[in-house]
Amino acid sequence: MRKINVFIIAALVCSVLLNCIAFAEVAPKLTVDAKSAVIMEPKTGKILFEQNPDERLALASVTKVMTILLIYEALSDGRISPDDIVTVSEHAAGMGGSQVYLEVNEQQTVNDLVKSVVIASANDASVAMAEKIAGSEESFVDLMNRKAGELGMKNTSFKNACGLDTDGHFSSARDVALMSAELINKHPEVFEYTTTWQDTIVHKTARGEQEFGLTNTNKLVKWYNGATGLKTGSTSQALYCLSGTAERDGLKLIAVVLGSPNPNVRFQEVMKMFDYGYANFKMAKGTPVGTVVGDVPIYKGVKEKVELTVKDEVGTVVSKKSQSGLEQEIVINAGLSAPVFKGDKGGEIIYKFEGNEIGRSDLLVLEDVRRIEMPDIMHKLQKLWFK
């Protein structure tokens, strides 16, 4: 009996060692000089690397990822427009830290304030936009926390719109990655400004107009091939933070560091994380959107069948060492009854990777097909008769 137990223990140890070796081959060791770090693929939300991902930490101006997200949502649904005029309040003008030195009662367009927030990380512009959207910074912070809850950000509490050190204002690297993914997935137009190195606004005050230069706080834009954004941050409590985004060969990555010891280290560590991601992972994609993959029968229509196209892009992140590709199963409806309209669902395409389903896409009807009527039937009979 004792020999059997020894054999079982030895087998278990070997199994654990083999699993560890296999994992090491897929995911090489990586350490990051920061309190917390995460690499995420934004479309799938898959985490490729994590280091204390859920530790609650001050995040400084990386807070503005949520502020920017809510601004772009307001622009998208028409609550505000780029040309709207914003009058700067005393509260907004009084923000310290990073700013564009807005004055009380100065008027700026929404577009110029957005540039100031995204490019120059301006606290005063952030609060001015918060007041424009919600009426007060406090009400805007309520919107920030509500959105954090919707996104599943379990270790986040916002107390202000710009990230100044305040008791109870914190987030985690995982949560920062979640809100960053929401921003770039839903509002890729933000890249217009996150990739801009320098721009200007014009101060319009009682003393006249004066041009003011904006310089991007994110050196990744200059330093890293494929960098697309996103947001820096630093305070005495948060130290140096960064949510970086990049894209190469169809693979988008978000790399977050919170609590790096100095400003250059945060950029170096995020670049190291990007290099790790692009060296070890790739995007396995399904059939491109709009591709015709078959046709579906039409009953009682002027056409007997109609082509189907792929609605959504589906993909997953896989190790570059993987030899497997995406498997796909096309399921087409037995038939549709006319009238049928362009965009109606006529089937779906199911994707699997190594036997596990990773996503689906509807197959959409490519054109309208009206119901057949008596004149159509007579026309068909005439054609058959003369043929």
Residue 287 per-residue DSSP state: S
Taking the C-alpha atoms of residue 233 and residue 244, their distance in angstroms, rounded to an integer, is: 11
Planar angle of CA 26, 279, 244, nearest 5 degrees: 110
Cβ proximity of 265 and 37 under 8 Å: no
Q: Which value, in Å, is the radius of gyration of the alpha carbons in the chain?
A: 27
Taking the C-alpha atoms of residue 148 and residue 161, their distance in angstroms, rounded to an integer, is: 13
Has 361 been annotated as catalytic? no
- Record the pTM: 0.85
**DSSP sequence for 300-351:** TBSSSEEEEEE-S--EEEEETT----EEEEEEE-S-EESSB-TT-EEEEEEE
pLDDT of residue 82: 97
Exactly one of 43, 64, 252, 282 is catalytic; which is it?
A: 64
Per-residue pLDDT of the chain (387 residues), as tens digits, is: 444 343 434 444 344 343 433 333 445 689 999 999 999 999 999 999 999 999 999 999 999 999 999 999 999 999 999 999 999 999 999 998 999 999 999 999 999 999 999 999 999 999 999 999 999 999 999 999 999 999 999 999 999 999 999 999 999 999 999 999 999 999 999 999 999 999 999 998 777 889 999 999 999 999 999 999 999 999 999 999 999 999 999 999 999 999 999 999 999 999 999 999 999 999 998 999 999 999 999 998 889 999 999 999 898 999 998 878 889 999 999 999 999 999 999 999 999 988 889 899 999 999 999 898 777 566 666 666 666
Residue spans of alpha helices (H) in 94-136: 110-120, 123-134
- Sign of dihedral through CA atoms 113, 118, 124, 128? positive
Give the phi and the psi of residue 351 in degrees, each rounded to 5. Answer: -110, 140
Exactly one of 121, 171, 243, 361 is catalytic; which is it?
A: 121
Residue (of 156, 157, 192) closest to 174 by Cα position? 156
The CA-based dihedral angle spanning residues 49, 55, 58, 60, taken in that order and rounded to the nearest 10 degrees: 20
Taking the C-alpha atoms of residue 268 and residue 32, their distance in angstroms, rounded to an integer, is: 10
pLDDT of residue 323: 79
Has 61 been annotated as catalytic? yes
Taking the C-alpha atoms of residue 44 and residue 228, their distance in angstroms, rounded to an integer, is: 18
pLDDT of residue 341: 95
Cβ proximity of 154 and 175 under 8 Å: yes
pLDDT of residue 181: 98
pLDDT of residue 380: 62
pLDDT of residue 376: 57
Has 311 been annotated as catalytic? no
Residue 29 per-residue DSSP state: -
User: What is the maximum alpha-carbon separation in the chain?
Assistant: 94
Taking the C-alpha atoms of residue 81 and residue 36, their distance in angstroms, rounded to an integer, is: 37
- Which secondary structure element, helix H or strand E, spans residue 16, and what is its range? helix 2-26
pLDDT of residue 326: 87
**Residue labelled with tokens 């087409």:** 332
45: left (phi over 0), alpha (psi -120 to 50) or beta: left
pLDDT of residue 18: 39
